[in-house]
Amino acid sequence: MARAIEWIQRAAPAALLFAAHGAFAQWHGSAYGRIQGFEVTHINNFAFRVSLEGSPTLCIAGHRWAYLDGNGTNYKVFVATLLAAKAREASVTLYTVHDASGQNYCRIEHVSTD
């Protein structure tokens, strides 16, 4: 019982912070799978594009690829994480939002790996 209380005391602040942020509510899609491949292009042209094996839909707009914004503050960490996942053949979950391009392309906002 004491361990359960200790765990709750440790986890509660992080859970409240995460819930207050509302991160889940802002995502327009998510997909889980192994990375099929990448496309790399100019920084302002959907710089680093990712597709998953089996080509699942990556956001509600129906696109089967998602991208990282090359101007993003954590761009290098995202790219390194995705490259490492591909090299390890690990599965990832990509959480995406629609961008402002008018095409509703899927911009990667969050990544988790196995």
Residue 5 pLDDT exceeds 60: no
Whole-angstrom distance, CA of residue 76 vs CA of residue 82:
10
Q: What is the mean pLDDT of residues 29-55?
A: 94
The count of residues in the chain is: 114
**pLDDT (tens digit, 9 = 90+) per residue, 8-17?**
455 544 443 3
Residue 94 pLDDT exceeds 90: yes
Task: Give percent of the chain above pLDDT 70.
Answer: 78
Q: Report the DSSP pairing between strands 29-40 and 48-52.
A: antiparallel
Ordered by start, the domain boundaries in the chain are 24-113
For residue 36, the model assigns a pLDDT of 97
The hierarchical CATH code for the domain 24-113 is 2.40.50.110
For residue 97, the model assigns a pLDDT of 92
Whole-angstrom distance, CA of residue 8 vs CA of residue 80:
33
Residue 18 pLDDT exceeds 80: no
